[in-house]
Chain A
């Protein structure tokens, strides 16, 4: 009996061997990030298919796969009967038009001299105009095929395909001298800077992921920043995950498509919560708790002898002062429990959310003092009295 009371007395006036730091809770906005698996892709609009508009035979490729091409650069030469027919038509129509227009000019002079009726002249004019429109039509057709009609003197079957945009030739779809039909893709050109990151997001994040959120990827040793541009409405069938697309912001033209990457998606900060440090959490009697220094005067645990009482009150007062100050200063952490032993009590908290360092909780007020680190020691002090002598 005497022995134990001596020990408890000693306990209460002892110098704390372990400093248990405390801090004040504050509101903290919780952003969150999640690591994802991503893949470098290119959207279909970033990929150009150069299609032959006419059927024919590929005479020559001016480019090779992987080659960089500029817009308007020759790509392939195609020999096409259609072209030859069209050019032949054009030339003949042109010749007809010239004779028609010569004829019209002659008749016009006749009309001015009154030798031809107005009606007849109009008839000729319509004839000429219709021929002209035929020519213009054909001309425009040929123009789309990049055939310069001005210099077209003779019939030609040769048709040159040009690049519509700059980029890298990804593939030659048809071998040389192959016959291609109309609308068949000859080669693909991949536009630069048109990479997208396709990421697979677990379903549970469906309500927090938003267009515009930041997503970074680790490509080799670089970190590349992208932003979410699309959240696809369809789940990836295989992985059962949400597919989000994000565009690469910076200039990055050396990514390999289909590369799997690790990426991190950053959600925007959601609500503000009362936050405690993660290191303050402890699991106690089946609940998550934080430890709070007992501020009131009566000693609950019998661990305090009477001789520490005065000190205790003194400290309480000081604590209250601190308290007010800290609320204004946004409560920086402080260590002050060095002189006398302090009792702690567990406060049950409910975890709402957490990020790397902080946990948003219910069950504790903003500005309350809590044990911010080494909560193990606070727990030990409470539970120690229940420790048996039986370690086995």
Chain B
């Protein structure tokens, strides 16, 4: 089949060239059109349902909102997991689905289910979260008033009614979220004492407002053959309208709102604030819709800014705070620079080795062509150009040319050896000769990366594009090598006069004695290498592990956490202090500081004790790492009373996607009663305190929110003739400021709130809130309710319908698996866990463990597949094993590099090992197949001599493939831009692996071959 292919391509050479020109053209087109992003879309298939329920406590929200929603959604097809968080004012339910389901379909399913959920009146309405990815916040801006003539409230109004609609009209924008400032509402401040005077109740006042604010349509009147529409326009148009609403009428005298209340413009209670450089500000975030191109969306937004600025009052403008594309461009730049320099380096290497322009040209041309084929495939499979997918290409750069090198080298040699035979036949023969090993080698390389495709979750999403792209580009290179290269060789190659260049000669000079020595001491060497391998393999298990290397986004960001129950004003003050502190102490490094306190409007799960501080750095900071370190220490020293967690914008979003457990290792304790959960967590904490290897432990405090509980006293209520409903209305509307009506001003709507005057001065004032019963009795809340201050839940987290609490741990200098085993034993022995409560292990460790378990199955399967491929190629099991033996040779170098550089074993490093796997096999195939060929040709030559000659003859292609791979990967090793750290472990491993693999292939493989086949000979 392969032979036919080669024959046909050689026959229709013009067609082949045209075909590849066309492929190149389409490839360039794809290259230009591929969406660019920093990361692959790592968001799990997830639908978020949030229900705003202002003023309500975590416990009630869990009972009345979260639980019904969760139960309605459980049991849906494709649901992997349901997680929820209930806290003050919000229920947040997140449903995770299998990854292969369509998000729009899922959203529809969820909506259908939600319509059946029974939620008590007045407790809110479940809403689907925006259809965006975890990294969907592509553009942040501040609405800046340079004239200082607008209040934060007015600016917020601009955000809600000018900026949001305009940005929302941009294609690809799912949602625009406003944050900061305060929102306007109309306060009707009721003096309850005055209710006695006019003989009315609180409900009367509320009714009065609700009934006065009405509009109606009265159909039409025909008058003189024309139609006149009839309209009742009773909606409030001014504050005086509210004031003049009639509460009741006594003897023809009307008592109006004015008599019992003052009406004023005020601000709604808020749950978040934004502070920039020490003063409060208003900002917005644009969310990108799922499966849109971030770069494009941001470009469109930027175009829109002009329109928005024109729509805003003079002096008020949109200022960019954060623009994802900057980071994207940086990341893509890093990797494309690496890719480009890889190409250049590989070209140089090729030229140095071949020392012949024509053959070098053929090999080099195969590089861009394979890459363009990969781009074509990426476009076809909707893969975006991002850090991971492009690095797949960068890793493969050196391997792309391998197939071509082998074919060109063979043709070159054959042309040199057989100058008299017809060119076509020589080229065809030499191509056919190596076609099988080349094809199998490429297939094996592709096969090696298959396990990556099986990875689940975050790792899978991150590394699948990389693996896919390697496969794409290898397939591309195979097509180029088998179809185009023979044609080009036929057209371009010339028998060269001198087969060897100076470089090769000198290399051979050193190599020959080494090879002879190796062949003489085959057995000893093999044993020595095996011992080294096992020692190193053991040391690898002792190596620290991490799931993913940290991405350097070249920015500094902090999550700042205060104690639970911290008030928003306190947090905002803290934010302002932190900002001023940073600006004062780092004037040369920091341009601006932004703090986002609490949560914005659309279903975020942060509370007022939480804030995110983002630093905008000045350009040209030399040592970001040192600065970060210094700042971390300085800040946690200067602001002892809060906790700083350094992070970065994208990393933070990724952490949020992982939902909940971000620690390396954590125990999740499941059960009903938070207090019991808390005590179990504490007792586990106590018992594990002294376990070996434990570096730190933290219980996530879910309790700790002080609550003023107002429990109706039914007897007392009966005495005065007040219903619970009335009391709850007063709590909800009068104290809790829930809107009772809306004042509509054009398209803008502002809540009208019937607040009780001075109700929220302190705890005493709540107790003294006065109610008037229908009968006239005047009572304070204290008289009809039991008012106590208690500690309640700050938030309640649930997973698959069960409450849980997290105890996170850090383990150092110890293998986590054994730690977990010991800890489990201790917990089993000394912690009493009541019925209905159970624990489970979670954390990065679990992800890693799951990934490892999966790999434990996939890797052997892959191995079998590779052996099968090798067997098919060589038709011999022992040769397949002989080639596989090369793998440990490569791993030796990889492990040494990893251990020496002190890098943790991560998924990235594992990918490096996979690449070595491929390279080692490739090296083995090239050599073994050649030895076989020679043995066939010269069956009578002594094996040792034959091996020596074969190795010497094969030295050039082996070195060339090794060096191209090495130099292809080198730019990744030395890259320093955004995203480079993810590739670093991988490139370290590959670099080490290539060196050892090449050396050992050249020395040990011939000797092993000798051991295997000496007897048979």
Interface residues of A (CB under 8 A from B): 1, 4, 6-7, 10-11, 14, 16-18, 35, 37, 200, 202-204, 238-241, 260, 262, 278, 283, 285-286, 288, 341, 354, 376-377, 379-381, 383-384, 386-392
Interface residues of B in 760-778 (CB under 8 A from A): 762, 764, 768, 775-778
Report whether A380 and B662 are in contact in the complex, using a CB–CB cutoff of 8 Å: no
**CB 8 Å contact bits of B807-848 with A (1 = contact, 0 = none):** 010001000000000000000000000000000000000000
**CB 8 Å contact bits of B643-662 with A (1 = contact, 0 = none):** 10100000000001001111
Instruction: Please pick, from B196, B633, B701, B812, the residue contacting A388 in the complex, using a CB distance under 8 A.
Output: B701
Interface contacts beyond A260-B197, A384-B643, A391-B610: sample of 16 additional A-B pairs, CB < 8 Å, sorted by A: A14-B640, A18-B640, A18-B641, A202-B779, A239-B196, A260-B194, A283-B789, A288-B789, A376-B566, A376-B570, A376-B641, A381-B641, A383-B564, A389-B662, A389-B808, A392-B605
- Roughly how many angstroms separate A391 CA and B659 CA in the complex, as a whole number? 11
Beta-carbon nearest neighbor of B773 in chain A = A240
Report whether A285 and B699 are in contact in the complex, using a CB–CB cutoff of 8 Å: no
- Roughly how many angstroms separate A11 CA and B637 CA in the complex, as a whole number? 6
Closest chain B CB from A319 CB (angstroms): 21
SS class, residues of chain B in contact with chain A = mixed
Report whether A392 and B610 are in contact in the complex, using a CB–CB cutoff of 8 Å: yes
Closest chain A CB from B407 CB (angstroms): 54
Closest chain A CB from B633 CB (angstroms): 6
Interface residues of B in 156-196 (CB under 8 A from A): 193-194, 196
**Known contacts A204-B783, A341-B640; A286 and B197 CB within 8 A of each other:** no
Report whether A238 and B775 are in contact in the complex, using a CB–CB cutoff of 8 Å: yes
**Interface assignment of B790: CB less than 8 Å from any CB of chain A:** yes
- Roughly how many angstroms separate A7 CA and B812 CA in the complex, as a whole number? 18
A-B contact pairs, 9 of them (CB 8 A): A4-B695, A14-B638, A239-B776, A262-B193, A376-B641, A387-B563, A388-B808, A391-B561, A392-B659
Interface residues of B in 779-802 (CB under 8 A from A): 779-780, 782-783, 789-791
Report whether A384 and B641 are in contact in the complex, using a CB–CB cutoff of 8 Å: yes
User: Which 9 residue pairs spanning A and B have beta carbons closest together?
Assistant: A380-B641, A391-B610, A238-B776, A388-B700, A260-B197, A283-B706, A383-B563, A286-B791, A239-B778
- Roughly how many angstroms separate A384 CA and B642 CA in the complex, as a whole number? 7
Beta-carbon nearest neighbor of A38 in chain B = B193
Instruction: Please pick, from B762, B779, B791, the residue contacting A283 in the complex, using a CB distance under 8 A.
Output: B791
- Roughly how many angstroms separate A376 CA and B570 CA in the complex, as a whole number? 9
Report whether B637 and A383 are in contact in the complex, using a CB–CB cutoff of 8 Å: no
Instruction: Write out the residue numbers on chain B whose beta carbons fall within 8 Å of the beta carbon of A4.
Output: 695-696
Closest chain B CB from A281 CB (angstroms): 9
Closest chain A CB from B255 CB (angstroms): 12
Instruction: Please pick, from B561, B570, B782, the residue contacting A389 in the complex, using a CB distance under 8 A.
Output: B561
- Roughly how many angstroms separate A286 CA and B789 CA in the complex, as a whole number? 8
**CB 8 Å contact bits of B682-710 with A (1 = contact, 0 = none):** 00000000000001101111001010000
Report whether B561 and A240 are in contact in the complex, using a CB–CB cutoff of 8 Å: no
Report whether B783 and A383 are in contact in the complex, using a CB–CB cutoff of 8 Å: no
**Known contacts A10-B633, A390-B700; A238 and B777 CB within 8 A of each other:** yes
Instruction: Please pick, from B564, B701, B778, the residue contacting A241 in the complex, using a CB distance under 8 A.
Output: B778
**Interface assignment of B636: CB less than 8 Å from any CB of chain A:** yes
Closest chain B CB from A242 CB (angstroms): 12
**Known contacts A380-B642, A389-B559; A37 and B193 CB within 8 A of each other:** yes
SS class, residues of chain A in contact with chain B = mixed
**Interface assignment of B639: CB less than 8 Å from any CB of chain A:** yes
**Known contacts A17-B638, A202-B780, A238-B775; A388 and B699 CB within 8 A of each other:** yes
**Known contacts A17-B638, A391-B561, A392-B605; A260 and B720 CB within 8 A of each other:** no
**Interface assignment of B663: CB less than 8 Å from any CB of chain A:** yes
Beta-carbon nearest neighbor of A200 in chain B = B778
Instruction: Please pick, from A286, A377, A392, the residue contacting B85 in the complex, using a CB distance under 8 A.
Output: A392
Instruction: Write out the residue numbers on chain B whose beta carbons fall within 8 Å of the beta carbon of A6.
Output: 633
- Roughly how many angstroms separate A195 CA and B193 CA in the complex, as a whole number? 21
Instruction: Please pick, from B562, B636, B656, B699, the residue contacting A380 in the complex, using a CB distance under 8 A.
Output: B562
**Known contacts A240-B777, A388-B808; A383 and B642 CB within 8 A of each other:** no
How many CB-defined contacts (below 8 Å) exist between A and B?
130
Instruction: Write out the residue numbers on chain B whose beta carbons fall within 8 Å of the beta carbon of A37.
Output: 193, 196-197, 778
Report whether A286 and B637 are in contact in the complex, using a CB–CB cutoff of 8 Å: no
Beta-carbon nearest neighbor of B599 in chain A = A392
Interface residues of B (CB under 8 A from A): 85, 193-194, 196-197, 559, 561-564, 566, 570, 577, 605-607, 609-610, 633, 636-643, 645, 656, 659-663, 695-696, 698-701, 704, 706, 720, 762, 764, 768, 775-780, 782-783, 789-791, 806, 808, 812
Instruction: Write out the residue numbers on chain A whose beta carbons fall within 8 Å of the beta carbon of B636.
Output: 7, 10-11
Instruction: Write out the residue numbers on chain B whose beta carbons fall within 8 Å of the beta carbon of A200.
Output: 196, 778
Instruction: Write out the residue numbers on chain B whose beta carbons fall within 8 Å of the beta carbon of A7.
Output: 633, 636-637
Closest chain B CB from A360 CB (angstroms): 13
Closest chain B CB from A55 CB (angstroms): 35
- Roughly how many angstroms separate A383 CA and B794 CA in the complex, as a whole number? 14
Instruction: Write out the residue numbers on chain B whose beta carbons fall within 8 Å of the beta carbon of A379.
Output: 563
Beta-carbon nearest neighbor of B632 in chain A = A7
- Roughly how many angstroms separate A241 CA and B577 CA in the complex, as a whole number? 50
Closest chain A CB from B613 CB (angstroms): 12
Instruction: Write out the residue numbers on chain B whose beta carbons fall within 8 Å of the beta carbon of A388.
Output: 561, 698-701, 806, 808
Q: Among the interface residues A7, A238, A376, A392, which one has the most CB atoms of the partner chain B within 10 A? A: A392
Instruction: Write out the residue numbers on chain A whose beta carbons fall within 8 Å of the beta carbon of B643.
Output: 384, 387, 389
Report whether B563 and A14 are in contact in the complex, using a CB–CB cutoff of 8 Å: no
Report whether A380 and B660 are in contact in the complex, using a CB–CB cutoff of 8 Å: no
Report whether A240 and B778 are in contact in the complex, using a CB–CB cutoff of 8 Å: yes
Q: Among the interface residues B605, B641, B696, B791, which one has the most CB atoms of the partner chain A within 10 A? A: B641
- Roughly how many angstroms separate A238 CA and B643 CA in the complex, as a whole number? 56
Instruction: Please pick, from B641, B779, B806, the residue contacting A390 in the complex, using a CB distance under 8 A.
Output: B806
- Roughly how many angstroms separate A262 CA and B194 CA in the complex, as a whole number? 9
Instruction: Write out the residue numbers on chain B whose beta carbons fall within 8 Å of the beta carbon of A381.
Output: 640-641
Beta-carbon nearest neighbor of B560 in chain A = A391
- Roughly how many angstroms separate A16 CA and B196 CA in the complex, as a whole number? 52
Instruction: Write out the residue numbers on chain A whose beta carbons fall within 8 Å of the beta carbon of B563.
Output: 376, 379-380, 383-384, 387
- Roughly how many angstroms separate A288 CA and B85 CA in the complex, as a whole number? 28
Instruction: Please pick, from B606, B633, B764, B776, the residue contacting A391 in the complex, using a CB distance under 8 A.
Output: B606
**Known contacts A1-B695, A239-B778, A286-B791; A202 and B783 CB within 8 A of each other:** yes
- Roughly how many angstroms separate A204 CA and B695 CA in the complex, as a whole number? 56
Beta-carbon nearest neighbor of A260 in chain B = B197
Q: Among the interface residues A238, A283, A354, A376, which one has the most CB atoms of the partner chain B within 10 A? A: A283
Instruction: Please pick, from A35, A239, A260, A278, the residue contacting B777 in the complex, using a CB distance under 8 A.
Output: A239
Instruction: Please pick, from B641, B699, B790, the residue contacting A377 in the complex, using a CB distance under 8 A.
Output: B641
Beta-carbon nearest neighbor of A286 in chain B = B791
**Known contacts A1-B695, A239-B776, A260-B194; A11 and B640 CB within 8 A of each other:** yes
- Roughly how many angstroms separate A390 CA and B806 CA in the complex, as a whole number? 10
Closest chain A CB from B874 CB (angstroms): 53
Instruction: Write out the residue numbers on chain B whose beta carbons fall within 8 Å of the beta carbon of A389.
Output: 559, 561, 643, 645, 662-663, 698, 808
Closest chain B CB from A304 CB (angstroms): 12
Q: Among the interface residues A6, A200, A204, A377, which one has the most CB atoms of the partner chain B within 10 A? A: A377
Instruction: Write out the residue numbers on chain B whose beta carbons fall within 8 Å of the beta carbon of A239.
Output: 196, 776-778
Instruction: Write out the residue numbers on chain A whose beta carbons fall within 8 Å of the beta carbon of B783.
Output: 202-204
Closest chain B CB from A4 CB (angstroms): 7
Closest chain B CB from A138 CB (angstroms): 50
Beta-carbon nearest neighbor of A36 in chain B = B193
Report whether A240 and B193 are in contact in the complex, using a CB–CB cutoff of 8 Å: no
Instruction: Write out the residue numbers on chain B whose beta carbons fall within 8 Å of the beta carbon of A391.
Output: 559, 561, 606-607, 609-610
Closest chain A CB from B678 CB (angstroms): 11
**Known contacts A17-B640, A260-B196, A377-B641; A386 and B699 CB within 8 A of each other:** yes
Closest chain A CB from B1004 CB (angstroms): 42
Closest chain B CB from A159 CB (angstroms): 38
- Roughly how many angstroms separate A170 CA and B606 CA in the complex, as a whole number? 66
**Known contacts A202-B780, A286-B791, A390-B662; A16 and B806 CB within 8 A of each other:** no
Beta-carbon nearest neighbor of A7 in chain B = B636
